[in-house]
């Protein structure tokens, strides 16, 4: 029986099936055997045979390729499985060796995995948790079970990441603190597969925190106890739970009554404040006059309102100080506004931030106008603004006060001279922050100064040209001013006199009788001591040794300052030396006139006596011979009588009772006639040499006195101090 298969059927059933059919067909038709030649074979049969061969060939190739692909997929699957197994093994090792307790709970609350660390933390093995899902709930601390149950309920309602701290009770009964962190586990489609959790043992950390908290509480208690601020804490029911020492000292034993009584310090509304309320601060005044600042701070515990902390600070002194400051500021503002000088302040941009009323009144510009412009130069005339701005730049460039003179147009239409002092202001970091200016209208003062300068010039010109010596002494008794006449009188340059003391040893004052004037009687000292003037006092002034005295007429006048204090003394000296010498000569002449009148009266009587002596001398001489030894002595007596008569005639001439009869005589003969008498008076051991002098009588009178104490071989001179002539 011959089986015929259509090619379309082979294509539909696929290559593998076609391969199997082709093999079966060839087996049945013995295509693998040697071909037999049959005469009755047709061309269609040959075509079928070729087609079957082609299909068989394609089937074999496809089968080979399919086998290779299958082997390749199997190799890849084997490698992926091996890699997954290796990765699972690594993650297993990591999970099993984590320090924290790691576990995975499925949505039903069953443990899918728990790390071995659970035994170290809880004392229970992983298998015990996997076998008993409720074990975790049983080891929770009773106080924390409600909180953890609420946590799991919220996770079941909506899986999310969260953290929680709770306590567990280990198998051995020890309580441990656990820090729990969990997150949802989802597949690639987002389906929730449970919660992955990590529990850390934080017992030691909690213990350290507890100890630190205790220390903090101790420190906080000490801090509160030693605060200067009174502190009281109330709970959520407005019950007092804490007061510090400052509170007890501030309110004493009446604290409770003050807090909760009528007019209480803790108002009921504050006791009901909730945690979100704003911090309150207010002031209240006690019956004793104290002023307290009261502050409220809400307290919360774990998000719940726990009470309030109330603080009281005694601000009585601060309030009084602030009140005093405000009063001083008010006074200062009044002083600034009513000060006779202009005061203003500029900021760093040149804008005027303050100006007092005095300056506004002077320039006729209101304060509002000054402070409303960006720069004060906008309200001043251009000339004044340029001057003011130039001094501003100079003041800002230096650390010391800047002093200048500025001409500013005033409301009266006149330019006034202002003496301006500007001080730079600096910020805390040293940068320029503006300046303060003070201005004083010195127009009248400058006019007065000009007048004073003119007056001083006239005064100096008057003093400079005075013939009297003028010296001005300061309080320290030193020369402040002197004129040329003073320099001439004291024989010193004016530069040397400047600063000289009134008691300088280079000059001395003498009274009219020649005695030294005490220092307290010096004109300058006397006026400074008494405050009264000295008028027309005559003093003799001696400068240095060996100089002739200068007679002066002294006047000294005190000069008082505005306060009435004696500040200077003006002393004038008029040289009256010539006048004084003339007076002395007049006195001498008057004395000589008196002597002359006396001498005239005596001379007449003396002349009568001499006439007798001379007459008898001549009679005796006529009776003696020339060789008589008595004759020389008698001749000397007669000669002396003649001389006495001549002296009598001179006295009469001096007394104006006899006319003078001048005649020429030999001075040598006159002096030579005296020599024998002088030799007998002084002795033979003395060599007498006669030189011109006043007269023989004076020499003869002084000769015996000069011999006493005179050593042999020496020389004695007689000096007449009055005429400065020397006699040997």
Helix-strand-coil percent breakdown of the chain, rounded to 5? 45, 25, 30
Q: How many other C-beta atoms are found inside a 10 Å radius of the C-beta of residue 434?
A: 20
- Pick from 522-531, 600-609, 625-634: least confident: 600-609
**Three-state secondary structure readout of 379-404:** CCCHHHHHHHHHHHHHHHCCCCCEEE
Q: Which two tokens stand for residue 217?
A: 């509480």
The torsion region of residue 500 among left (phi > 0), alpha (psi -120 to 50) and beta comes to: beta
User: Can you give the residue ranges of every domain in the chain?
Assistant: 1-97, 98-207, 227-319, 339-447, 466-575, 664-728
Q: What's the CA gap between 598 and 654, in Å, rounded?
A: 10
CATH ID of 227-319, from 3.40.50.2020, 3.30.450.20, 3.40.50.12280, 3.20.20.110: 3.30.450.20
Residue 587 pLDDT greater than 50, yes or no: yes
How far is C-alpha 287 from the geometric centre of its chain's CA atoms?
44
Q: What is the pLDDT of residue 677?
A: 60
- Pick from 121-125, 143-147, 222-226, 500-504: least confident: 500-504
Q: What's the CA gap between 266 and 288, in Å, rounded?
A: 18
As a CATH number, domain 98-207 is: 3.30.450.20
Q: What is the pLDDT of residue 5?
A: 43
For residue 415, the cross-strand partners are 409
Report the pLDDT averaged over residues 317-342: 84
Q: What is the pLDDT of residue 618?
A: 86
What are 386-410's pLDDT values in tens digits?
888 888 888 888 888 988 887 777 7
Place of tokens 């309580």: 175
Residue 471 pLDDT greater than 60, yes or no: yes
Across the beta sheet with 111-114, the strand order is: 111-114, 101-105, 192-201, 175-186, 162-169
Q: What's the CA gap between 304 and 236, in Å, rounded?
A: 10
Q: What is the pLDDT of residue 167?
A: 92
Residue 60 pLDDT greater than 80, yes or no: no
Is there a contact between 392 and 432 (Cβ–Cβ < 8 Å)? no
Report the pLDDT averaged over residues 99-114: 86
Report the pLDDT averaged over residues 233-244: 80
Is there a contact between 541 and 522 (Cβ–Cβ < 8 Å)? no
Residue 563 pLDDT greater than 80, yes or no: yes
> C-alpha distances in angstroms, 681 versus 194, 407, 556, 677, 700?
169, 99, 59, 6, 8
Q: What is the pLDDT of residue 559?
A: 92
Same CATH topology for 98-207 and 227-319: the answer is yes
Q: Is 334 exposed, middle or buried (0-12, 13-18, 19+ CB in 10 A)?
A: exposed
Average model confidence (pLDDT) across the chain: 76
What are 200-220's pLDDT values in tens digits?
888 888 888 778 777 877 887
Q: What is the pTM of this model?
A: 0.33
CB-facing half-sphere around the CA of 554: CA atoms within 13 A: 25
**Proportion of the chain above pLDDT 90, given as a percent:** 6
Residue 697 pLDDT greater than 70, yes or no: no
3-state secondary structure of 7: helix
> C-alpha distances in angstroms, 652 versus 239, 599, 615, 629, 640?
142, 7, 21, 36, 18
CB-facing half-sphere around the CA of 117: CA atoms within 13 A: 18
Strand residues in 413-547 grouped as ranges (E): 415-426, 432-441, 469-473, 479-482, 507-510, 534-543
Q: What is the pLDDT of residue 355?
A: 86
Relative orientation angle of helices 696-707 and 675-682, to the nearest 10 degrees: 20
CB-facing half-sphere around the CA of 197: CA atoms within 13 A: 29
Is there a contact between 154 and 134 (Cβ–Cβ < 8 Å)? no
How far is C-alpha 295 from the geometric centre of its chain's CA atoms?
38
Q: What's the CA gap between 529 and 539, in Å, rounded?
A: 19
Q: Does domain 339-447 bear CATH number 3.90.230.10? A: no
Q: What's the CA gap between 152 and 142, in Å, rounded?
A: 16
Q: What's the CA gap between 228 and 273, in Å, rounded?
A: 25
What's the pLDDT band for 39 if we cut at 50, 70, 90? very low
Residue of 74, 123, 126, 71 lying closest to 95 (CA atoms): 126
> C-alpha distances in angstroms, 423 versus 382, 394, 401, 430, 446?
23, 10, 5, 14, 23
As a CATH number, domain 466-575 is: 3.30.450.20
What's the pLDDT band for 34 if we cut at 50, 70, 90? very low
Q: What is the pLDDT of residue 592?
A: 74
Is there a contact between 141 and 166 (Cβ–Cβ < 8 Å)? yes
Across the beta sheet with 550-560, the strand order is: 479-482, 469-473, 566-575, 550-560, 534-543, 507-510
């Amino acid at each position: 029986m011959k089986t015929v298969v259509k090619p379309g059927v082979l294509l539909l059933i696929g290559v593998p099936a076609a391969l199997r059919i082709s093999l079966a067909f060839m087996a049945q038709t013995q295509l693998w055997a040697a071909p037999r030649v049959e005469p009755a074979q047709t061309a269609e049969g040959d075509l079928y045979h070729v087609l079957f061969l082609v299909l068989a060939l394609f089937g074999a190739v496809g089968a080979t390729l399919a086998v290779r692909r299958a082997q390749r997929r199997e190799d890849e699957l084997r490698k992926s499985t091996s890699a997954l197994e290796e990765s699972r093994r690594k993650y297993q090792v990591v999970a099993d060796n984590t320090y924290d307790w790691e576990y995975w709970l499925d949505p039903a609350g069953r443990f899918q995995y728990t790390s071995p660390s659970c035994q170290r933390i809880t004392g229970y093995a992983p298998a015990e948790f996997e076998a008993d899902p409720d074990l975790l709930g049983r080891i929770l601390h009773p106080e924390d079970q409600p909180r953890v149950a609420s946590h799991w309920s919220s996770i079941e309602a909506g899986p999310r990441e969260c953290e929680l701290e709770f306590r567990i009770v280990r198998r051995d009964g020890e309580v441990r603190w656990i820090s729990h962190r969990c997150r949802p586990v989802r597949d690639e489609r987002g389906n929730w597969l449970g919660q992955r959790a990590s529990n850390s043992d934080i017992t030691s950390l909690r213990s350290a925190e507890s100890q630190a908290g205790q220390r903090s509480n101790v420190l906080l208690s000490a801090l509160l106890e030693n605060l200067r601020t009174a502190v009281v804490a109330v709970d959520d029911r407005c019950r007092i739970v804490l007061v510090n020492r400052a509170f007890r000292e501030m309110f004493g034993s009446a604290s409770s009554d003050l807090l909760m009584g009528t007019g209480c310090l803790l108002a009921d509304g504050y006791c009901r404040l909730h945690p979100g309320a704003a911090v309150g601060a207010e002031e209240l005044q006690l019956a004793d006059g104290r002023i307290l600042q009261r502050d409220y701070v809400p307290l919360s515990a774990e998000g719940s309102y726990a009470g309030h902390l109330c603080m009281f600070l005694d601000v009585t002194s601060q309030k009084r100080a602030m009140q005093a400051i405000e009063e001083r500021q008010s006074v200062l503002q009044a002083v600034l506004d009513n000060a006779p000088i202009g005061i203003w302040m500029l900021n760093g941009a040149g804008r005027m931030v303050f100006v007092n009323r005095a300056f506004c009144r002077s320039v006729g510009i209101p304060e509002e106008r000054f402070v409303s412009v960006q720069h004060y130069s906008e309200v001043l005339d251009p000339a004044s603004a340029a001057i003011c701005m130039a001094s501003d730049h100079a003041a800002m460039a230096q650390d010391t006060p800047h002093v200048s003179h500025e001409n500013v147009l005033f409301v009266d239409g006149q330019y006034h001279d202002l003496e301006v002092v500007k001080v730079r202001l600096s910020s805390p970091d040293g940068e320029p922050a503006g300046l303060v200016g003070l201005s004083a209208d010195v127009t009248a003062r400058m006019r007065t100064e000009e007048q004073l300068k003119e007056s001083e010039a006239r005064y100096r010109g008057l003093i400079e040209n005075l013939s009297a010596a003028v010296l001005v002494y300061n309080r320290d008794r030193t020369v402040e001013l002197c004129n040329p006449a003073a320099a001439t009188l004291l024989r010193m340059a004016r530069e040397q006199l400047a600063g000289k003391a009134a008691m300088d040893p280079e000059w001395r004052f003498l009274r009219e009788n020649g005695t030294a004037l005490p220092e307290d009687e010096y004109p300058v000292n006397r006026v400074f001591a008494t405050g009264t003037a000295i008028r027309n006092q005559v003093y003799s002034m001696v400068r240095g040794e060996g100089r002739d005295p200068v007679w002066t007429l002294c006047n000294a006048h005190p000069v008082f300052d505005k306060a009435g204090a004696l500040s200077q003394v003006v002393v004038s000296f008029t040289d009256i030396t010539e006048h004084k010498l003339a007076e002395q000569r007049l006195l001498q002449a008057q004395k000589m006139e008196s002597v002359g009148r006396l001498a005239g009266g005596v001379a007449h009587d003396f002349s009568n006596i001499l006439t007798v002596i001379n007459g008898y001398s001549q009679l005796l001489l006529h009776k003696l011979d020339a060789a008589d030894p008595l004759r020389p002595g008698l001749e000397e007596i007669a000669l002396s009588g003649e001389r006495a008569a001549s002296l009598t005639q001179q006295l009469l001439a001096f007394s104006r009772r006899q006319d003078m009869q001048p005649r020429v005589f030999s001075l040598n003969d006159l002096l030579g006639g005296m020599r024998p008498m002088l030799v007998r008076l002084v002795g033979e051991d003395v060599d007498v040499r006669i030189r011109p002098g006043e007269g023989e009588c004076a020499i003869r009178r002084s000769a015996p006195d000069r011999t006493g104490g005179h050593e042999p071989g020496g020389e004695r001179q007689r000096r007449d101090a009055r005429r400065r002539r020397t006699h040997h």
